[in-house]
A and B are shown apart, each in its own frame.
Chain A
């Protein structure tokens, strides 16, 4: 189990890296459209989120992969996953006409119910990492600096 935790950490980090990177390299208007389709934010907020959010995703992902500021990064990931779950759930309840989540740019296409299951699984795994922080920190930059003290 202790050996699996760093792997899970890297895998979750990779999901965030891929997702953020895919959004960042294309025109931001494509992600803005995805945000608009969920109908939860005001116009200026939609614009701001479309520009900032992919960077946060990318940094959290990289911090998780290399294991930097791990406790804080994992909490950040939990906040993000919870907000995804709430936003996708409200879209399902309101029966918004969204064919696919748009969460991974054009790389992976998932229907809303599929992404809800996926995010819930990621959330559970991230919670496990938070409660088992020490074994999850193996092979991390955090551990390297701890040893250096």
Chain B
């Protein structure tokens, strides 16, 4: 009798927990369900505007997986021109000391229409600058390499509104359920990491 009530009690607990989690998941559903589109004319977009595979990436320039993901996407976009469009949004992680500073330089590069030059270089040299006590000189050096106007760069970095655009991206990501980087939205579907990204892209390519 006691064993039977214990089993009954167990089922009740399981039922209540499952119900509770489902209820929380339903009410705490990501506030946003679609990624806000970036104007294809702006600097953080590349590829054809009407490409069949539209990817939006939430990136932290200090994350090693983001550097790997960038290599994969660059190769894929070169191999399949016109198939993929890529939009970049900032998601500097709390634990990454240079996540925000690198995003600030990237956004200033974007303002001078040189976002992708900075993006490629900052990710390629990630292992060199992420261990430094002060990575700012490294970012300054990269800015010089892509010929950013130093006067405009200085003014941009001093602008209080700079962090706002980065925060806005991060808030959008958080509302969509983004927690780590790189998180991609492939034709609106959320995938995290390069492995899931390549699986999703291969699935779409097989269908086409």
CB distance from B166 to the nearest CB of A (A): 19
- Cβ-based interface call for A139 (8 A): no
For the side of the interface on A, what is the size category? 20 to 34
Q: Give A25 to B179 CA distance when docked, in angstroms.
A: 12
**Is A27 in contact with B177, judged by CB distance below 8 angstroms?**
yes
- Cβ-based interface call for B101 (8 A): no
Q: Which of B40-48, B107-115, B187-195 contacts A (4 or more CB under 8 A)?
A: B187-195
Q: Give A63 to B14 CA distance when docked, in angstroms.
A: 10
Known: A27-B177, A58-B21, A100-B95. A43 touches B193 (CB 8 A): no
**Is A99 in contact with B95, judged by CB distance below 8 angstroms?**
yes
Q: Give A97 to B64 CA distance when docked, in angstroms.
A: 7
CB distance from A102 to the nearest CB of B (A): 8
**17 further A-B pairs in the complex, CB-CB below 8 A; given A25-B28, A29-B196, A63-B13:** A21-B21, A25-B21, A25-B24, A26-B177, A29-B191, A33-B192, A36-B196, A37-B65, A37-B193, A62-B13, A68-B6, A99-B63, A105-B179, A141-B6, A145-B5, A145-B6, A145-B9
CB distance from A71 to the nearest CB of B (A): 13
List A37-78 residues whose CB lies under 8 Å from chain B.
37, 43, 58-59, 62-63, 66, 68-69
**Is B179 in contact with A69, judged by CB distance below 8 angstroms?**
no
Q: How many residues of B contact A (CB 8 A)?
A: 29
CB distance from A116 to the nearest CB of B (A): 18
CB distance from B92 to the nearest CB of A (A): 14
* B2 touches which of A33, A97, A102, A145 (Cβ 8 Å): A145
* B195 touches which of A36, A66, A148 (Cβ 8 Å): A36
- Taking Cβ atoms with an 8 Å cutoff, the residues of B that contact A are 2-3, 5-6, 9-10, 13-14, 17, 21, 24-25, 28, 30, 63-65, 95, 177, 179-180, 183, 190-193, 195-196, 199
* A97 touches which of B10, B30, B65, B199 (Cβ 8 Å): B65
Known: A66-B13, A97-B65. A29 touches B6 (CB 8 A): no
Residue in B28, B63, B192, B195 with the greatest tally of chain A CB atoms within 10 Å: B192
**Is A59 in contact with B192, judged by CB distance below 8 angstroms?**
no
Question: Would you list the 3 A-B pairs with minimal beta carbon distance, nearest first?
Answer: A33-B192, A33-B193, A27-B177
CB distance from A43 to the nearest CB of B (A): 7
- Cβ-based interface call for A149 (8 A): yes
- Cβ-based interface call for A32 (8 A): yes
Residues of chain A with a CB closer than 8 A to B17's CB: 58-59, 62
